[in-house]
Structure 1
Amino acid sequence: MQMMRKAAFCAAMMLTVATGAFAAEKITVGAIADPGYHAAMWAVMNGKVKDANVEVTVSLMPIPAMIQASMTKQYDIIPNGVLAIPQMKEAGIDPLVIGTMIRHIPGPDNHTTDLWVKNDSPIKSPKDLKGKKIAVTSLEAQDVVSRRAVLSEKYGMNASAIGGDFTWVEIPAAQFEAALEAGRVDAVAFSNVLAYKVDKSGKYRSVLQGAKDLLEMYGGPMPTVLEMGYKEKMASRPEAYLAAAKLLRQSAQYMLTHQDEVFADVAPKYDMTPDQLKGWFSSYATMPYALGPTDKAVFVKAWKSGEKLGVLGSAPTDVEPFMWDKAIKE
């Protein structure tokens, strides 16, 4: 009997050790509290896609919290703007790009990087914006830098933060409409899903189609947000990061093949309809969680634009030092 108890104890210990040895790696992911991000992450957040080797935890948060988290390395994988990658390097942080999170869809219906005015405004073109006030979330936000690059490089205007052709007014996006209606600003920079809602509402008129201009300037659709991690953390657990990256891509793909299921749950949380969310993903942007064939070349050109605008101290000419060697590709 004593021997049987010892054998049972040893078997239990071996099972415990084996279970511990094969415990799933944990990867934390930061995401912006936005219907697009939420929809793309819905499947992994709700257990629709899984990998026994990795446990992915997604935290949704507003943009200011995400910016702070990116600098403190609070999460293993986070979204960040194209220009933020070399900016972080300049600040002494080593980011590595895993894939592209958001990329413009080429086409005449894409208004995700436009500038909008009231329908009865006398402003008809970008040139008419000279001397006017433009509401933006942040002068260094990627979508705003992209608009400034278009105004500068395509239309020959001075898009400097201070002393240029425009007065930039930094306010939360939720205040854009009120500021425009009250006449406190002359134009606003609606972006992403909000831009789609505004476009379809017919309440405002676009005077600059940024996505179209950026495509002409850079030679490929603009990858606005990248999926990144930190070099030292990724080097210590490359297989866990690879498994997580594949899982995030699977989650985004699940969204595309199960739109009714995903959008019905996500859209109401952001005062949207499922059809509005479907429309944004069909004509404004994709969320591939993978690098596309023109992305790297566009990164370099966008970085050069950032240098011209003073957002970057020096624009890198080689993209490879910023790319993870296991980066996900389409």
Structure 2
Amino acid sequence: MGIRAAGTGGPARRTRRAGAALLGLVVTLAVAACGGGDDGGGQAEGGDGGLTPVVVGALPTANTAALNLGVEQGFFEDEGLDVTVEYAQGGATMVTTLVSGDFDVIGAGYVPAISAMSQGLPLKFVVGGDLGADTDEAEWQTVLVKGDSPIQTPADLAGKRIAVNAVKGVLEVALRAALDELGVDSSSIELVEIPFPDMPANLESGNVDAAYAPEPFITSILDAGGRQVLAPPPTIAPGFINGAWETTDQFIAEQPEAVDAFVAGMTRAIEYAQENPDEVRRIIPTYTQIPQDVADRIRLPVFDAELDPAAIEELAQLAVRYEVIETAPAGEDMVYTGD
């Protein structure tokens, strides 16, 4: 499989015009869970010349560091936005909240948004977020077990209870695809939905046999004597796409300046995170419960603002394979280009 984002050396620069209003539609989703904009995007206009408020939904994980750095560094303010970050458990929750009108933009795994789009909900990816690493040692989302667990290899995961933050999300698709790639029957595993911050305790207590966790929880589990047994993203393909930033078509149509501004600010934030890994490590404890000494040692996400429609469509086909969705939308239909 060749699912990776094109141009992993840095975010693409494409002018995008989009906006900031939401669907007034409350939907219940049976889905779950993360090219760039022109750096000189036009500023969004707020009331009386002030900043336009934008509520952004995100996960309390290491890959949200770029967003928080962008807020702290004033990149969004420079574009005319007053960004408020709110946290959720998984991508499906955020998609539902986005469509219901409580979030303006969300940062989530691709799969929840693809699932929503496959059901006809008018969403678009507006800017990329992060990729998997090229090697098992560098991967920042892995499957871990307790130090005394009998599970030694990926083959031993067959038939086991494995924690994910949300079923029917990008982690489930990546995990099943990686196991099948290695010849392990992915249909034999039992997935248990547990928020990321609760995974270390549930693993230690034996409530689950393994946990598919991102940083900074990988380092916490390893510090407690745990072991890594599988790194799904690089097992599937180097640079496996993971997360992006999404909004609704109505949001795009009603306030194009605001989304254009968000894309510009987010692209700057991702570039900053790419160039300043020490700043990424510094900010993680400010929005998680991870101590600074742990944040100083974690494996950092691979930040990338580019969107690759072909890779997104490949991931959608995997979601069909694992019965997360029935049909895969065309990649180009899922990505907003500003045309």
Q: The TM-score by the shorter chain falls in which range?
A: 0.7 to 0.9
The match for 2:52 is: 26
Any conservation in 2 of the 1:105–1:284 contact (CA below 8 Å)? no
Alignment pair present for 1:120 and 2:148 = yes
What is the deviation of 1:221? Answer: 0.9
TM-score by length of 2: 0.75
The match for 2:196 is: 173
Aligned CA distance change for structure 1 residues 265 and 308 (closer, same or farther; 3 Å): closer
Identity of aligned residues (%): 20
Q: Secondary structure at the match of 1:106?
A: coil
Alignment pair present for 1:210 and 2:226 = no
The match for 1:155 is: 182
Q: Out of 221, 224, 246, which is 2:242 matched to? A: 224
Q: Out of 257, 264, 289, which is 1:271 matched to? A: 289
AA aligned to 2:82 is V
The match for 2:121 is: 93
Give the number of the structure whose residues are more often helix, by fraction. Answer: 1
CA shift digits 1:18-58 (9 cap, x unpaired): x9997256251413252535532234433533556522322
Aligned CA distance change for structure 1 residues 324 and 120 (closer, same or farther; 3 Å): same
Any conservation in 1 of the 2:53–2:81 contact (CA below 8 Å)? yes
Any conservation in 2 of the 1:134–1:169 contact (CA below 8 Å)? yes
AA aligned to 1:315 is A
AA aligned to 1:308 is R
Aligned ranges for residues 283-302 of structure 1 at < 5 Å?
283-288=299-304, 290-291=305-306, 295-302=308-315
Alignment pair present for 1:322 and 2:334 = yes
Aligned CA distance change for structure 1 residues 141 and 190 (closer, same or farther; 3 Å): same
Q: Secondary structure at the match of 2:216?
A: helix
Any conservation in 2 of the 1:147–1:210 contact (CA below 8 Å)? yes
TM-score by length of 1: 0.76
The count of residues paired between Structure 1 and Structure 2 equals 293
The structure with higher relative contact order (CA 8 Å, sep 6+) is 2
Alignment pair present for 1:103 and 2:125 = no
Q: Out of 61, 68, 79, which is 1:42 matched to? A: 68
CA–CA distance in 2 between the matches of 1:141 and 1:170?
A: 11
- Unpaired runs of at least 5, structure 2: 1-44
- Unpaired runs of at least 5, structure 1: 1-18
CA–CA distance in 2 between the matches of 1:20 and 1:309?
A: 44
Q: Secondary structure at the match of 2:309?
A: helix
CA–CA distance in 2 between the matches of 1:266 and 1:202?
A: 20
